[in-house]
Amino acid sequence: MITIALPKGRLMEESIEILKNSGIEVETPTSRRLFFFDKGNRYRFLIVRAQDVATYVEHNAADLGIVGKDVLNESKPDVFELLDLGIGYCRMVVAGRDNECLHKKNSSVRVATKFVNIAKEHFLKKGINAEIIKLYGSIELAPILGIADCIVDIVSTGKTLKENGLSIIEEIFESTAILVSNRISYYTKNPKIREFLEHIR
């Protein structure tokens, strides 16, 4: 049997859809149970926080996992990237009230974000001095309240930015969900992983 970590939240529904369309019979998880099996008992699925999927895979608690490129770019886990699933499309962007927010004289730009490493790397590449302010959610509030000049965050529909009076200043990269594999499992369970890949491809 192989174990596959699935992300809670925005990617869960689309991930289940992919499994169902591939002929892997699973029930849509509804209870608080954090793992379930397919009807053929070939796969065990774990339901974990999106940010934790790659950690479970890296530490061999799961053989495979579905994880957004945004999370992979932030935490750079030691896993194999097997397949771009094309689901969960979103963009990593710099957003603010206007373009001026990046042009500060004599002080660094204050950037609020959940994606500290991505933000640091982005501003370093641009040669802009940035002070990164780590938040865990509702990032869009930071420029409104004046604790940051701009944010680095994911945008999907664009609704949250719009409703909070912010707009995209720069796109950093596009993100979709990737099927990742534990490095050891990829070799020791290769036939089973290949079979799973054949199903969902």
What residues contact residue 3 under an 8 Å CB cut-off, 6+ apart?
Answer: 43, 44, 45, 46, 61, 62, 63, 64
Nearer to ligand PRP, 22 or 164 (CB): 164
Closest approach of ligand PRP to the CB of residue 97, in Å? 16
Beta pairing, strands 90-96 & 167-175: antiparallel
Nearer to ligand PRP, 70 or 149 (CB): 70
What residues contact residue 198 under an 8 Å CB cut-off, 6+ apart?
Answer: none
Closest approach of ligand PRP to the CB of residue 92, in Å? 10
Helix (H, G, I), strand (E, B) or coil at 187: helix
Sheet containing strand 64-68, strands side by side: 35-37, 43-48, 2-7, 64-68, 177-181, 80-84
Measured between alpha carbons, how far is 191 from 54 in angstroms, rounded to an integer? 21
Nearer to ligand PRP, 23 or 86 (CB): 86
Closest approach of ligand PRP to the CB of residue 88, in Å? 11
Nearer to ligand PRP, 145 or 201 (CB): 145
DSSP conformational letter for 165: T
Closest approach of ligand PRP to the CB of residue 107, in Å? 26
Nearer to ligand PRP, 29 or 158 (CB): 158
Closest approach of ligand PRP to the CB of residue 16, in Å? 18
Closest approach of ligand PRP to the CB of residue 102, in Å? 20
Nearer to ligand PRP, 72 or 155 (CB): 155
CA distance between the termini of the chain: 19
Closest residue to ligand PRP, based on beta-carbon distance? 137
Plot region of 52 (φ>0 → left; ψ -120 to 50 → alpha; else → beta): alpha
95 closest CA partner among 122, 68, 67, 127: 122
Binding residues for ligand PRP (CB under 6 A): 137-140, 153-160
